[in-house]
């Protein structure tokens, strides 16, 4: 069961509007990365459902976060159907993220009071997602759609809370462009966790990069 309710997750996102997106099949590496992000001020972390037995890694990670990173809301990403959402919520997922919008996932998340952040690529998709209770919608892929979509969408729909993911970089120029366009938060993956940094287990570097990126977001 989720450790943080929907209101808590939304408040955390508003206060620290950056969600690291990460997957690794080695649970010890996953734990180290989450802790490094936590030390850097991150309070929401998305572990993606992308490898065989990813749910087993998530189960261990969820227990670790509960003890070592108590203020962290741990969510699951790359969810495309309700069965997967249910599996991860049973293991403590605080929020569910998808690359696409599936209204059946919204239903199962709403039943548990867990935020569902669907991937949307158009104004209409954002509207449909909002109709079924999605308070935050993910603009994906961000590097294809660009800040102009965000700015254009918010003009007629200013109540929308948008999180952009895909190609977001932990640089002042990139992050400033997204927040000036009006995003509520950003999701960031490979740019925040270069393969060589993870391979060398340079967790201090990840902590520093998170702290720097959050300063630009705020």
The CA distance from 170 to 166, in Å, is: 12
Question: In residues, how long is the chain?
Answer: 218
The tens digit of pLDDT for each residue in 44-64 reads: 999 999 999 999 999 999 999
The tens digit of pLDDT for each residue in 109-164 reads: 999 999 999 999 999 999 999 999 999 999 999 999 999 999 999 999 999 999 99
- Per domain, the residue ranges of the chain are 6-217
b (16+ CB within 10 A) / e for 148-181? ebbeebbeeeeebbbbbbbbbbbeeebbebbbeb
- Which residue bears the tokens 């929401």? 44
In this prediction, residue 155 carries a pLDDT of: 97
| Average pLDDT taken over every residue of the chain | 97
Residue 218 has pLDDT above 90, yes or no: no
158's tokens = 């200013």
Residue 174 has pLDDT above 90, yes or no: yes
Residue 93 banded pLDDT, cuts 50, 70, 90: very high
3-state percent helix, strand, coil for the chain, nearest multiple of 5 = 50, 15, 35
The listed CATH number (3.20.20.70, 3.40.50.300, 1.10.599.10, 3.40.50.970) that belongs to domain 6-217: 3.20.20.70
pTM for the structure as a whole: 0.97
């Amino acid at each position: 069961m989720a450790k943080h309710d929907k209101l808590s997750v939304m408040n955390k996102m508003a206060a620290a509007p950056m969600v690291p997106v990460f997957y690794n099949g080695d649970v010890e590496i996953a734990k180290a990365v989450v802790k490094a992000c936590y030390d850097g001020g991150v309070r929401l972390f998305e572990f993606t459902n992308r490898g065989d037995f990813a749910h087993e890694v998530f189960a261990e990670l969820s227990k670790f976060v509960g003890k070592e990173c108590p203020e962290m809301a741990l969510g699951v990403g790359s969810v495309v159907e309700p069965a997967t959402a249910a599996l991860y919520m049973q293991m403590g997922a605080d929020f569910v993220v998808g690359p696409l919008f599936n209204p059946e996932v919204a239903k199962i998340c709403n039943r548990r009071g867990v935020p569902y952040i669907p991937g949307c690529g158009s104004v209409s998709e954002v509207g449909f997602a909002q109709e079924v209770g999605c308070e935050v919608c993910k603009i994906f892929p961000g590097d294809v759609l660009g800040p102009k979509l965000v700015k254009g969408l918010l003009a007629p729909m200013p109540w929308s809370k948008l999180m952009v993911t895909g190609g977001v970089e932990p640089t002042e120029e990139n992050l400033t462009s997204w927040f000036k366009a009006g995003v509520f938060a950003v999701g960031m993956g490979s740019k925040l966790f270069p393969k060589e940094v993870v391979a060398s287990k340079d967790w201090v570097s990840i902590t520093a990069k998170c702290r720097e990126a959050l300063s630009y977001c705020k």
